[in-house]
Structure 1
Amino acid sequence: MERYGIIDLGSNSVRMNIVNVYKNGSYSLVDQAKVMVRLSEGLADGGTLKPEPIARTLNAIKLFNQLIEAYGVTKVAAVATAAVRQASNASDFLDRALEEHQMAFEVISGEDEAYYDYLGIINTIDLKDFLMIDTGGGSTELAWVVDREIKASVSLPFGSVILTERFLSGDNREKGIEKADKFVRKAYKDVPWLKEAKGLPVVGLGGSLRSVAKVHRGKDPLSNVSLHNYRMPGKELEALLTDIVNTSPDKVSDLPGIGKDRSDIIAGGVLPLKVLAGYVDLEQFVVSGNGLREGVFFNRYFKEKDLPMVVPSVLDHSLENVRKRFNVDNPHTAHVRKLALRLFDALKELGPFDESDRILLDAAGHLHDIGMHIEYYNHHRHGFYLTLNARLCGLTNEEIIKVAVLVGHHRESKLKEDLERFKSALGKETIEHLRRLAVFLQIAERIDRSESQVVDDLSVTLSGEEALVRLLSEKDTELECVATMRIAEDFEKAYGVKLRVVRG
């Protein structure tokens, strides 16, 4: 096993991800660390990093080194962004970091920063065309993505700390906000391609923009699954941004999701998004929990594995990674998934079900036995919990919950108490729809009762009031026939037709 330490030294904070890469090729985040160092504090005054921010940052690097040693990190990638990029005394700081703490930082360009952000998003959110914005402390990166490739990008020399120090630190805050708005708007007008991205979803990353989502999601009962890929309508976003910008720093931390360590710069952090929303007629805002650090990891990981920088399918890549992490990447899992989809394709009119249901069933087929990672007893319930919390990418929060419901119903056992907190959000009709869909998974699991793929395939004939399933195999399939017929009553209850299973 390899263990990576990915460090991102920004203008406002320094952060580290520790990621395990296992022998089977899967990977998982095992720890995160963050220290608010405000390295760019005072940078606007003379263009140099000041002694106090430097001291705070070097102390944070010292703490990170202790974590690196404790975890036995084998590979370290450390990058520095806007504050170091812009400072005239950057080399002095970098020399101290190397001499005092053996930490060698790569100072990346604004374009590289945008590229790593893009890698973090494109490999974990299933969007084809979008506009990306990353507001840091000292810079704002924009990227225009078309057909999953960067068409254009730019790094603008302002962020939460810079805008706060330049415009929002005086007595007349209202006037300062107005000046900051005009300043950002003028910068956007100088980006020739920005208007062409009008109407596209906007994907936001960075601590300030994640804070916006944290405030909003308190109103959304489905939001507690993951902040990553959390979505907001444009009108609701603009109203919320206006509230945040117009709330004084001593009051804004009262909003759930905005910490006191960010309250003095949050207005400057969200202003670039607020101006952008009006500039491109934003209709949907998507929050990314992944960005620069994940992009740096993917860049190294994919190169080492000789894989393309952009995964062909976000969902397929994520499902494969989760299967391998939880040791369910086996022939039984693949076979049950295949059989469940065979049943779906032949009987979908009974639902009726559509392509979105097929995608959910497919994902649940991949993960139906994930709960075995904990224990055989109640593994359907363990699977429900793990699916909710395994950080599945390529699905919305609502879709993740639906897949979890299917996984939790892949056996005939009940899942009543686990569903309580989602009942009002999903609604009774949706839950019943998913329970009926899960019957296909239950049958497929029964057909591979011995987990030895005795049944090669199946054929299904729907006629009148009967669904006839033939188990195709050159071997004896009596066990599989008997096991499957035990849930014939459940099938009839779900679909109103009888189930008959015979040897082919």
Structure 2
Amino acid sequence: MNKRVLSVIEIGSRAIRMSIVEVIDGKISILEELRQQVRLGKDVFNKGKILRSTINQCILILKNYKNLCDEYKAEEIYAVAATAVRDASNVDIFIDNIFSNAGLVVEIISTTKGTEYVYNAINSNLLNKFKRNDEYQAIVEIGSGTVEISIFNRKCIVFSRSLPMGALKMKMIFSDAPNAEEGFFNYLKAAVERELRNLKREIPASKVSAIYGIGPELELLTKILNSSENENYINKKDLEEFCSKIYSFSDDEIVHKMNVPYDYTDTFHPIIFMFSKVIDFFECDKIYIPKVNLRYGVALSVIDSPDKMDFFNKYKIQFKTTAINIGRRLNFDEKHALKVTNLALKIFDETKEFHQLCDKEKAYLTIASILHDIGSSLSDSSHHKHSMYIIKSQDFFYLEKREKNIIANVARYHRNSEPKSTHPDYMELSPKDRMIVMKLSSILRIADSLDNTHLQLVKNIRVIKDKPNSLIIVAYVKGQIFTELYSFRHKKVFFETLFGVSLRLKIKKD
């Protein structure tokens, strides 16, 4: 029996929460969960920084949490922080103080990484199973600092957006306005409707078969609306009636009549109000509150982290979907991008003896190939450089910043220029990562040359080892490929120099 104990600490806008879990043969059981209220969100959304008194309070809480972890003999402690800490002007001071005084390394996670964790937690135990391949479901997490909306199908996340209108942040923004208390919900309604109108232009589907609501306020709501504590379903009609009922309630009435803990009162009503607006937007009747959270998602990622050999197979659909969605937003040449990707991956698979890269690097090549020409959306001139900047500015699930920089550089070198020591973005990479960029970009250059006209004249290829240091690419073509031949002769040179082989192209009619 494989058994271990680990702890996940989440430093949120209103509380620091900890889950101590036991993992037995890959299954997670919660041993203990703790929550301590803090005013991080109020500090940051009002003052722009975390006050010293709040930092000291966080240190004390985290010291106590760490002591409890020691009692449980937790082998690993993972501490993560999101919106409030990330947005603080003194975030570095906060992180350093926590490490120096509590001995904990805090990871600042992006909204993309947070969505990834929550999606993993929900996907591990779907409450509403998919019935069709074209069916979509949504995750809605309304927090203190942001609203996270993600749409997924049975295979991967197809859309994700972070809206800067969390309940506590909106209250802080509106707190100085005249008649703040009376006019807040009119202001909130206008803000939510504006964001949802903008969202409608981007999302792949405005109708979903089920919505999963995430957050402690929504878990409280299920207890209020349902007689059974195990119930994780909300009836849409009940939600609408509840929103009408509490519209005129004061904070004290919400506490005493609804049994809502006092420290939730400043966000409970706004979060329920915003959640109901999102439900209306998606026109969905199936509303689930699965009672999972970011901490559970972090724990899942720890115990289910794929090795390098399994990485591509596990996430390849996600990578391809994300890259194609980025391309479509910028009106890219999809047929060319997918043809180049197909050719690049074939060359990658059939030249492993030379490049000796693994499936993780294959994932990088997939994204770089799909997006290599994306810079043309800005300008054809120097579009390879624009491609690099665009890729660096995007978010990719299951990839770190370092990996995104590798992908961006691979796309940057698909054209004429080879990597040079005078290129700052390239030189920022480690020597090992620079070598990955060179190997992958040498493959991408060849693949791009074989669709130089963007007409997909090369239908398929095979790579044959002719001699120990000689390779032949057999291209099955339809029509004349004069431009591709010229481009191939030019672009193959980098591959030949890098691997010390000669490369020839042999044409066969398809």
Residue 204 (str. 1) matches residue 205 (str. 2): no
Q: Which residue of 2 aligns with 1:270?
A: 272
> For the Cα contact (< 8 Å) 2:138–2:211, is it kept in 1?
yes
Question: For 1:303-355, what per-residue CA distance to the aligned partner results, in whole angstroms no more than 9, with x for missing partners?
Answer: 27979979xxxxxxxxxxxxxxxxxxxxxxxxxxxxxxxxxxxxxxxxxxxxx
Q: Which residue of 1 aligns with 2:45?
A: 44
- Counterparts of 1:72-221 in structure 2, within 5 Å, are 72-127=73-128, 128=130, 129-167=136-174, 171-191=179-199, 192-194=201-203, 196-218=205-227
> For the Cα contact (< 8 Å) 1:198–1:280, is it kept in 2?
yes
Q: Distance in 1 between matches of 2:139 and 2:88?
A: 26
Residue ranges of structure 1 left out of the alignment (5+ in a row)? 311-504
How many Å apart are 1:194 and its aligned residue? 4.2
How many Å apart are 1:286 and its aligned residue? 0.6
Question: For 1:402-445, what per-residue CA distance to the aligned partner results, in whole angstroms no more than 9, with x for missing partners?
Answer: xxxxxxxxxxxxxxxxxxxxxxxxxxxxxxxxxxxxxxxxxxxx
> Secondary structure of 1:93's match?
helix
> For the Cα contact (< 8 Å) 1:114–1:155, is it kept in 2?
no
> For the Cα contact (< 8 Å) 2:159–2:203, is it kept in 1?
no
Return the letter of the residue paired with 2:243.
L
Q: Distance in 2 between matches of 1:139 and 1:189?
A: 17
- Counterparts of 1:94-493 in structure 2, within 5 Å, are 94-127=95-128, 128=130, 129-167=136-174, 171-191=179-199, 192-194=201-203, 196-218=205-227, 223-224=228-229, 226-227=230-231, 230-303=232-305
Q: Distance in 2 between matches of 1:278 and 1:126?
A: 21
Q: Distance in 2 between matches of 1:156 and 1:193?
A: 13
> For the Cα contact (< 8 Å) 1:5–1:16, is it kept in 2?
yes
> Secondary structure of 2:192's match?
helix
Q: Which residue of 2 aligns with 1:352?
A: none
Q: Distance in 1 between matches of 2:176 and 2:218?
A: 21
Question: For 1:228-271, what per-residue CA distance to the aligned partner results, in whole angstroms no more than 9, with x for missing partners?
Answer: xx112212212213333432111101244521121122122223
How many Å apart are 1:289 and its aligned residue? 0.5
Q: Which residue of 1 aligns with 2:466?
A: none
Q: Distance in 2 between matches of 1:265 and 1:173?
A: 13
Q: 1:263 to 1:195 in 2, by over 3 A?
A: farther
> For the Cα contact (< 8 Å) 2:111–2:162, is it kept in 1?
yes
Return the letter of the residue paired with 2:118.
D
Q: Which residue of 1 aligns with 2:23?
A: 21
Name which of structure 1's ranges 281-290 and 185-194 shifts more when overlaid on structure 2: 185-194
Q: Larger relative CO (CA 8 A, sep 6+): 1 or 2?
A: 1
How many Å apart are 1:115 and its aligned residue? 1.2
Q: 1:169 to 1:73 in 2, by over 3 A?
A: farther
> For the Cα contact (< 8 Å) 1:120–1:298, is it kept in 2?
yes
Under a length normalisation based on structure 2, what TM-score does the superposition of the two structures give? 0.56
Q: 1:83 to 1:72 in 2, by over 3 A?
A: same
Residue ranges of structure 2 left out of the alignment (5+ in a row)? 131-135, 316-510
How many Å apart are 1:272 and its aligned residue? 2.3
Name which of structure 1's ranges 276-285 and 237-246 shifts more when overlaid on structure 2: 237-246
Question: For 1:159-212, what per-residue CA distance to the aligned partner results, in whole angstroms no more than 9, with x for missing partners?
Answer: 221122223687553311110111122122222344723243211011111121
How many Å apart are 1:145 and its aligned residue? 1.1
Return the letter of the residue paired with 2:40.
L
Q: Distance in 1 between matches of 2:64 and 2:85?
A: 20
Q: Distance in 1 between matches of 2:15 and 2:269?
A: 17
Q: 1:52 to 1:265 in 2, by over 3 A?
A: farther
Q: Distance in 1 between matches of 2:296 and 2:57?
A: 24
Name which of structure 1's ranges 136-145 and 126-135 shifts more when overlaid on structure 2: 126-135
Return the letter of the residue paired with 1:290.
V
Return the letter of the residue paired with 2:70.
E
Return the letter of the residue paired with 1:110.
T
How many Å apart are 1:20 and its aligned residue? 0.9
Return the letter of the residue paired with 1:189.
R
> Secondary structure of 2:172's match?
helix
Q: Distance in 2 between matches of 1:143 and 1:257?
A: 30
Q: Percent identity?
A: 22
Q: Which residue of 2 aligns with 1:4?
A: 6
Q: Which residue of 1 aligns with 2:358?
A: none
Return the letter of the residue paired with 2:255.
S
Q: 1:286 to 1:148 in 2, by over 3 A?
A: farther
Aligned length: 302
Question: For 1:124-183, what per-residue CA distance to the aligned partner results, in whole angstroms no more than 9, with x for missing partners?
Answer: 223333111111221221100112521111122232211222236875533111101111
> For the Cα contact (< 8 Å) 2:168–2:266, is it kept in 1?
no
> Secondary structure of 1:299's match?
helix
Q: Which residue of 1 aligns with 2:383?
A: none
How many Å apart are 1:107 and its aligned residue? 0.5
Q: Distance in 2 between matches of 1:304 and 1:281?
A: 37
